[in-house]
Structure 1
Amino acid sequence: MTSEKTREATRVDPARVRVIVPNFKRRLSGVTSTIIQLVPLQVKMIGLAALGPGLPALLAKLRWWQVPALLRRPVGGGVRVWHARRNVEMIGGLILRDIFRAPMKIVFTSASQRHHKRLTRFLIDRMDAVIATSNKTAAYLKVPNTVIMHGIDTERFHVPANRAEAAKEVGLDPTRLYAGCFGRVRHQKGTDLFVDTMIALLPRYPEWSAIVAGRATAQHQEFEDGLKRRVAEAGLSDRILFVGEHTDIDRWYRALSLYVAPQRWEGFGLTPLEAMASGVPVVAADVGAFSELVPSEAGVIIPPGDGEAMVREVERYLADNELRERQGVAARAHVERDFQLIGEAKKLIAIYEGLMGQGR
């Protein structure tokens, strides 16, 4: 699609926009990923547009020069909703609502599992509605809130017809089994715990290999280089593979037989859901929302930072084909039942419509 056709396809009439989803961070993050997945669904249900940099060209979004139009009421009257997910986006909404008197209600989604700093508390106190992404997150909020957990696209993330063929499609050896750890390569994400677990276990399980998929930013490059040195020193460079960052990560999940989420800290964490939707059981640290996402019939939760527990639990899966098969089936059913992206989209729209009904 040419740039002109792209602009035409995503052109938005601000007068008909009822919900604005700002994204004021250019670099890809979990919040940005959530917006990218939800907006195409929600625009089919309500007049909605994104705003800000770092978003795909085909996403419906307002241009900056259109923002002054938000100071007027939308077609049909009433108020708009501004859905912020970061401090800077709350500030943007407050400037429009309280300084420029835009007819607007502001929603904030919190994923943080720690006590908020003074500025964040100040901003949250001025929101019209607050959403928590998990019960753990809700426990840190001092204001009334609604828990709406993230969902995922179960069409994109699905069980492969044949895992060996799925491995072959991404350039892997189809005769091997793969354990995977996906996401940013850094200490916080526990990539070292996964690598150390694989170094300990792979010599005993010659049919298995491991995949680390994700990018190390410049400040974490030395960390990744150190992991690769440890792998080389263990003689496992051909079996613990650092494959980099991929936009088609769903294809890599379908190549796995086990997924490990070793994070030391996480806000929410979608990767266990993505793995389970792909029919893959999960070993996950008890951080973020993982304990609320991974049921015992689809995986196991271990203490964060506990390398011994990780080795012990991962080995159970490497050694037991029947366990992996049974839990993989249960994992897919669990996500289909409770974590469909469309369900999250509908719950959010119910919040928006409730605020619109209050008027201003």
Structure 2
Amino acid sequence: MHRVVPGLTKSSASDSSESVSADSVNSVEVIAPNFKRELSGVTSTIIQLIPLQRANGLNIVTMGPGLPAALPSIGWMSVPALWFKPRTRPFRIWHARRNNEMIAGILMRSVLRMRLKLLFTSAAQRDHKPFTKWLIRQMNAVIATSGKSGSFLKVPHTVIMHGVDTDLFHPPQDEQDRFAASGLPGELLVGCSGRIRPSKGTDLFVDAMINLLPQHPRWTAVMTGRTTTENKGFEQALRDKIAQAGLADRILFLGEVPDVRLWYRRMTLYVAPSRNEGFGLTPLEAMASQTAVVASDAGAYAEMIEAGTGTVVTAGDGAALEAAIAPYLADPAMCESAGRSALAHVRENFPLQKEAVKILEVYENMFDSGSKL
């Protein structure tokens, strides 16, 4: 999953911050642990949601490494305070998003008898392993990030799809947001974003571009995203194929760009060709930038794209992907119409604030019901 987190750098991350005073811990209502040092989609979700949730009046903090120092957090020295209920609630909620966070919550609640109830958010779109299923059954409440991920859960759950920050991701506003400012050849841009690897379907995108671009000379194709060491050979094979087709100046690898938001705004068409995804935010980010989308049905893509905003095809089907892209390249006005509809759709149904409010409703239901197992 891809989220842009403004202002987050390695130097701004805290390994073990204790920004909430010992006295203030007594007022903490919800803890959102982050037990992974490297930046991930889950970490980005926590970083973006907590300020919104606090703005909505919830006293929520995080705990763990790899987080901005400015984010309200507690450290392990504050754990003994969890034996006591907070000032305004009968218990605290421990909102886990990973297995190790569920394990820690179960130990604190069921072994150490701390005043906690446990919530888990599941994004996985596959059958869970037996141990994970057992962990999930120990939760007091469960959120699924899509209907598809919820279909793999064997417990009651609430579906709350991720949202996108519609202030960060917005339509073109000035000349720098136009494709012409990129200095690349052509007049119109089609692109995809994400790590260069088979699971992201980069090869499917390249194959489609090799077949289609000779028929559409106004278009240029780009791929933004990092290539890890183990996928350098994969990228090189794609570069060789592009060169053999004589399209090295029109199908370009840009690498990890400083600001992917700018490239969404420069694109007339965005393609999400993934073979598999957890959730997958890039189509929403593109749609919020007023860009038409063609996507596979990996992750939650099919649940976020509706008729008129883009096209969805079967994941891994290169021929179907190419056939879906072709009409957009042939008719840029079709892209413009879909982009306008996509923007309205995202602003109405997928603003990040809406996700924050829906999660807050789950918290309040847990507090109101006592969430007894």
Same fold at TM > 0.5: yes
Moved more, 13-22 or 109-118: 13-22
Going from structure 1 to structure 2, the CA distance change for 1:113 and 1:174 (only over 3 Å counts) comes to same
Deviation of the 1:102 alpha carbon: 1.4
1:38 to 41, 49, 60: 49
Over 3 Å counting, the alpha-carbon distance change for 1:224 and 1:72 in structure 2 is farther
- Equivalent in the alignment of 1:156: 168
User: What amino acid is aligned across from residue 244 of structure 2 in structure 1?
Assistant: E
Match of 2:237 among 223, 226, 237: 226
Residue-by-residue CA offset, 1:132-178 (whole Å, 9 max, x unaligned): 11111111111111111111101111111357743355x44386211
Give the whole-Å Cα distance in 1 for the aligned partners of 2:287 and 2:187. 20
Contact 1:17 1:74 in 2 (8 A): yes
Instruction: Decide whether aligned partners of structure 1 residues 19 and 273 sit closer, same or farther in structure 2, where only a CA change above 3 A counts.
Output: same
Structure 1: gaps of 5 or more residues: none
Q: Does 1:211 align with 2:222?
A: yes
Tell me which residue corresponds to 1:100.
Answer: 112
Secondary structure at the residue paired with 2:191? Answer: strand
Q: Distance in 2 between matches of 1:39 and 1:231?
A: 44
Scaled by the length of structure 2, the TM-score of the pair is 0.89
Paired residues for 1:301-316 under 5 Å: 301-316=312-327
- Note the C-alpha offset of 1:90: 0.7
Structure 1 equivalent of residue 211 of structure 2: 200
- Assess, with a 3 A threshold, how the Cα gap between structure 1 residues 205 and 166 changes in structure 2: closer, same or farther: same
Number of the residue aligned with 2:254: 243
Amino acid at match of 1:282: V
Residues 163 and 255 in structure 1, CA contact (< 8 A), matched pair in contact too: no
2:11 corresponds to 1:11: no
Q: Which residue of 1 aligns with 2:3?
A: none
Check conservation: 1:131, 1:145, Cα contact below 8 A. yes
Secondary structure at the aligned position of 1:136 is classed as: helix
**Cα pair 1:269 1:288 within 8 Å, conserved:** yes
1:1-360 pair list within 5 angstroms:
11-12=19-20, 13-45=24-56, 46-161=58-173, 165-167=177-179, 171-173=182-184, 176-246=187-257, 248-359=259-370
TM-score (norm. length: structure 1): 0.92
Shift of 1:202: 1.6
Contact 1:165 1:174 in 2 (8 A): no
**Cα distance between partner residues in 1 of 2:179 and 2:248:** 18
**In the TM superposition, what is the alpha-carbon distance from 1:10 to its structure 2 partner?**
8.3
Retained in 1: the 8 A contact 2:170–2:290? yes
CA distance in 1, matches of 2:44, 2:279: 12
Q: CA–CA distance in 2 between the matches of 1:64 and 1:226?
A: 48
Larger mean CA deviation between 16-25 and 49-58 belongs to 49-58
Q: CA deviation at 1:261?
A: 0.6
**Partners of 2:171 and 2:18 in 1: how far apart?**
32
Q: How far did residue 59 of structure 1 move?
A: 2.3
| Superposed displacement of residue 203, structure 1 | 1.9
Greater shift in the superposed pair: 205-214 or 229-238: 229-238
Shift, 1:78, TM fit:
1.5
Deviates more, 1:283-292 or 1:47-56: 47-56
After TM superposition, the structure 1 stretch with the greater mean CA deviation from structure 2, 249-258 or 200-209, is 200-209
How far apart are residue 27 of structure 1 and its match? 2.1
Distance 2:249 2:186 in 1: 14
Q: How far 1:91 sits from its partner (Å)?
A: 0.7
Counterpart-to-counterpart distance in 2, 1:74 and 1:172: 57
- Indicate the larger mover: 292-301 or 222-231: 222-231
In 1, Cα distance between the equivalents of 2:317 and 2:221?
19
Q: Secondary structure at the match of 2:117?
A: strand
Change (3 A) 1:77 1:145: closer
Deviation (angstroms), 1:282: 0.7
Kindly provide the amino acid, as one letter, of the partner of residue 19 in structure 2: R
Q: Which amino acid aligns with 1:151?
A: G
Amino acid at match of 1:60: P
Amino acid at match of 2:151: A
Task: Name the CA distance, whole Å, in 1 between partners of 2:369 and 2:220.
Answer: 56
CA contact (8 A) 2:34 2:43 kept: yes
CA offset at residue 130 of structure 1? 0.6
* Unmatched 5+ stretches in structure 2: 1-6
